[in-house]
Amino acid sequence: MNRNLSLLTLSQIFGFTTATITVFLSGIVGSQISSNQSLSTLPTALFVVGTASFTVLAANIMSKIGRRNGFVFAAIGSSCSALLAAFAISQKSFNLFCLSCLILGMGAAFNHQYRFAAAESVEKEKIPKAISTLLLAGIVSAFLGISLANYTKDLIQDQLYVGSYLLLSFLSFMPGVFLFFFKNVENVQEDSLKEGNMRNLKSIVLQPRFLQAITAAAFAYAVMSFLMTATPLSMHVMENMSLKETGLVLQFHVVAMFLPSLITGNLIKKYGHSTIIYGGVLFFFITVLLSLFEQTYLNYMLSLIFLGLGWNFLFISGTSLVVLTYNKEEKFKVQGINDLIVFSTMALASLSAGILLNSIGWKMMNLICIPFLILIIFVSYMADKKSVS
């Protein structure tokens, strides 16, 4: 742990609460203030759309003003957006609430650059462990954000959930305080490719390992977001389970997303990226299998835990692999394109979650994830085959 990595990890604890609280509450809030129940998850989806649409711009801004200024700017913007969300709920304005979630997502586009900043702060061989260390902070974030959001939901009398978003305004501002002390640095690891002129984007993207990395990361987030977005509505609204039970399932899901980070970096170093990617796909298949049984609290809990485990293996493998496919001078361009693809895919999945949950149900939602899991296996197999040849 160096200073930059420590600051990023601390900021992750507070910054990631934007995502956890949005996933936890925005669908429920949407169902209460929207006249069309099929649009209940639209605020959640717009959060993802905001992230996807701003990824390239966020990378470009940071290339101009530096990581530190970019992170501080995002923290201030996210804090103001949370205040807007609180006002929207108090006015029961669904459109304004959707707008606030969209802007919160734009701020999250900067936060997703934490992992690249962490990778740039360590030597090449330590990249998977640095990313794992950063993601571990998500466990604290999940319990901190969801627990406090639940605790403060009645803070303002007769204004349910306004207090939760006032809290989020404070939490999302804190990374700006910590990262004010962040030091902009050049990559300290050796480049995996020889330095030279910047290659065109096509030659970078068509690398087998880049395709493997982007496929693993994109569909890890897409499948996870697709099912996680639908979970609060499926449990709390359709199956009439308590908000406390729904929150616990999401908390343990996030624990499963991040706790394996203690060993994922070491597993990648020992067994290679592809093996861990295959392991992540296996966990996703278990999630789908569990959906075929009765929809009980225990079933949701186990299903979301395996969903989190699969995301961890796939996303850390994909992220640490993509870092090895570009030169130092190409980093902002490739990182922006990487996140654009990852979060655009995630946005499409999240946008469709509420509509499909209401039309085809929880079990079928799980089953339609299978072709994407097969695609991850195929692309990884082809990348391994070309590397051997």
- Encode pLDDT of 299-348 as tens digits: 999 999 999 999 999 999 998 899 888 887 888 888 888 888 988 888 88
What is the percent of the chain with per-residue pLDDT over 90, rounded to a whole number?
55
Distance CA 154, CA 134 (A): 32
Structure letter (DSSP) for residue 344: H
User: Which tokens is 100 given?
Assistant: 């606030």
Asked, for residue 190, whether it belongs to a domain, the answer is no
Of 221, 217, 310, nearest in space to 257 by CA: 310
Asked, for residue 184, whether it belongs to a domain, the answer is no
Asked, for residue 248, whether it belongs to a domain, the answer is yes
- Encode pLDDT of 94-138 as tens digits: 999 999 999 999 999 999 899 889 888 888 788 888 888 887 887
Q: Give 197's pLDDT tier (boundaries 50, 70, 90).
A: low
Asked, for residue 187, whether it belongs to a domain, the answer is no
Greatest mean pLDDT among 34-38, 151-155, 369-373 lies in 369-373
For the question of whether the overall pTM of this predicted structure is more than 0.85, the answer is no
Residue 272 belongs to a domain with what CATH number?
1.20.1250.20
Overall number of domains in the chain: 1
Distance CA 280, CA 317 (A): 9
Note down the domain range covering 373: 3-177+201-388
Model confidence at 194: pLDDT above 50: no
Distance CA 387, CA 376 (A): 17
Cβ atoms 256, 305 nearer than 8 A: yes
Asked, for residue 122, whether it belongs to a domain, the answer is yes
